Amino acid sequence: MRKWITFSFFLAACSAQHNPKSTPTLSEAPMQVKAPIAKKIPVVSEIHGDERTDNYFWLRDKKNSDVISYLEEENAYTAKMTQKNEGLADTIFEEMKGRIRETDETPPYLEGEYLYYRRTVEGLNYPIHCRKKNVKDSVEEILLDENKMAEGHEYFQLGVMEVSPNGKILAYSTDTLGNERYSLKFRDLETGKDLGYQIEDTHYSLVWANDNKTVYYDRVDKASRPFQAYRHVLGSPIAKDVLVFEEKDERFFLNLAKTRSNAFLFIQLGSSETTEIWFMDANANEPKPEVFAPRKKNEQYYVSHQNDTFYIVTNDKAVNFKVMKTGLQKTGRKHWTDVLPERSDTQVVSLSPFKNFMIISERHKGVPRLVVTEDFSSQKIIEQPEPVYDTNLVSNYIYDTDTIRFRYTSLVTPRSTIDYKIKSAERILVKETPVKGYDRSEYVSERLMAVAADGTEIPISLVYKREHKDGPMPLLLAGYGSYGASYDPYFSSARISLLDRGVAFGIAHIRGGGEMGRNWYLDGKYLKKKNTFTDFIEVSEFLIEKNYTTSDQLAISGRSAGGLLMGAVTNLRPDLFKVVIAGVPFVDVINTMLDATIPLTVTEWEEWGNPNEKAFYEYMKSYAPYENVEVKSYPNMLVTAGLNDPRVAYWEPAKWVAKMRDMKTDNNVLLLKTNMGAGHGGASGRYDYLKELAFEYAFILTLIK
């Protein structure tokens, strides 16, 4: 998550006082290629008695033709500098493509009278969404063909896709710019034709009322924050849509949900630290939302429904969360009673009620697990075959059932879909994602522990090809460490192209993430944010000390807030890394967090702190990557951006690259690659995504030994 907005650039010779170096080279790139140099237009600002000069502030102006010209020059420079890598990148892309079953389909799941699934076709970039009646020899219906929908668009992303309870109408939304502002449409599935209108500026959530004609959808404000919930009746003018809720506090995002029991609709409001739930009867005609419990600062609660009971997962006097319950008519906090107390070594992540049982999703000592219970008097852990893995519930739309479905994966196990029988504990492998030519016995997965300076143990997940572990290996280390998000070990068939070339892959489970419980997150935010960066450095040093790699063989990678991580650790220890991949990096922290007009800034004050307060400003300034670029040597770096990115504005990586290029004293490669037709997630098609990844892998492989 994070940041957004404009960009501006020009070619100009700037003062060379900090730029005495020659043109960097990559592979056999032509020596005559000169890197673009951004002109300097000083903008001086002052806060808390501290004066700062930003020479590249002008890059924020996306409408300035010089900006676009500069980005295009950077892209041309990147293309020339990596021209000799094209053959390797093409080879890696073909390898990646060759491992996947290009014509394939997902395991079907039951919803109502239909089995729903997606299928892919060789040579086509996007999936086709289908269904069949849940009877023998039923005929396939194509709901949406994303390939046809994407025609004529450089970027395409499907947003919501929700079928009405009777299975007759499909609500779906699309984004063709990458700015995450979706157009909502409705399709009559009996005729296959869309209704003749669309609703603009919607976001990621939509729910159907049980009357099959009423939908509730969200809309975004100018800052791209979902803040309104509207009610729409099919076929009626959009102008008559009813605003049922508006969240005016800019820190809070709005999301719509429906209980698995189909009894209630939820309006979920949340900031980084506080939540509030409003609910409506899904069977009522034009219901008015009721607050479940008024918000309390720094308290989070999440609600689910089973029969005559609401269950609440909350951190009220429980850092790692606990489970409480209450009746349907008495939702206020004074009526809540404990059913599962807080545990110091286990965090409750979510609760999923079915008619006759519940699944608790939790993290125990850093590892996710699923637990079955009927009434919390006893609990049964669903055992998994490996000590370190990732798992989560998927596609469980049937309330009255004795079977659940979950996904399972690890660094060596491809993503698998599992059906689990609650009564018998029978585990049925529905499908393991096929990977052509892959033999998992050839690869080794390890869980290691580094020790931070304060004595905290930092988990590391590592995978490599068995035959290559003979002394230090080239290694790609990834990290994130923000928002309490867990970077769990997952399988990637594309990653095999690194592993088979002797490159190990590791994940640093650093503080600021959620891997080790809620306190793990709290110890890596606000005025403890530097723990995230020092943890990553400690992990890197540990891997070198234990002879897994060397600094000349170590590449690191992170995206978005993980890009902030890349920038911070590169400033702190540029000598420790050979190659840095910083994807859409949130690096201009001070300037962005001081500008409340930028989308997401106000909401993010609860993650990083508000620099309008002196203590947060000074701390943030001490680690912000853009502010801390210095006259010194930096590693080889590939930095990416998305021109339409609503989370991390393209100008953040562009300004950062411009400043580093002006100040760095080395001959290492520094490249900026901007996707001129995409946003935060990069390319949208599956082949286009693999091409971007192959480009990054080729960059790494040409530079690490």
CA atoms within 13 A on the CB side of 176: 12
Separation CA 112–CA 397 (nearest Å): 8
Q: What is the dihedral of CA 80, 84, 89, 92, to 10 degrees?
A: -170
- Please state, as a whole number, how many other Cβ atoms lie within 10 Å of the Cβ of residue 353: 19
Cβ pair 579, 700 in contact under 8 A: yes
The amino acid present at 46, given as its one-letter code, is: E
Cβ pair 543, 506 in contact under 8 A: yes
- Which H or E run contains 270? strand 264-270
- 57-86 in b/e burial notation, b at 16+ Cβ within 10 A? bbbbbbebebbbebbebbbebbeebbebbe
Separation CA 347–CA 342 (nearest Å): 8
602 three-class SS: helix
Separation CA 481–CA 658 (nearest Å): 26
- Cβ neighbours of residue 33 under 8 Å, at least 6 residues apart? 23, 77, 80, 81
Instruction: Tell me the CA distances in angstroms from 252 to 33, 131, 200, 248, 300, one per residue in order.
Output: 48, 36, 21, 8, 12
Separation CA 680–CA 683 (nearest Å): 9
Look up 560 and say whether it is catalytic. Answer: yes
Phi, psi of 539 (to 5 degrees): -60, -45
Look up 645 and say whether it is catalytic. Answer: yes
Query: In 493-627, which ranges are E strands?
Result: 504-508, 554-559, 579-583
Instruction: Tell me the CA distances in angstroms from 517 to 389, 410, 436, 446, 522, one per residue in order.
Output: 16, 20, 37, 21, 9
Q: Which of 271, 395, 492, 560 is catalytic?
A: 560
84 three-class SS: helix
Instruction: Tell me the CA distances in angstroms from 245 to 82, 91, 264, one per residue in order.
Output: 51, 52, 16
Cβ pair 177, 644 in contact under 8 A: yes
Alpha helices, H only, 295-429: none
Q: Which of 557, 645, 662, 684 is catalytic?
A: 645
- Of the candidates 412, 523, 410, which has an alpha carbon nearest to the alpha carbon of residue 457? 523
Structure tokens at 274: 């506080």
Q: Which of 203, 390, 680, 684 is catalytic?
A: 680
The amino acid present at 341, given as its one-letter code, is: P
Task: Tokens 């590391």: give the residue.
Answer: 460
Active site residues: 560, 645, 680
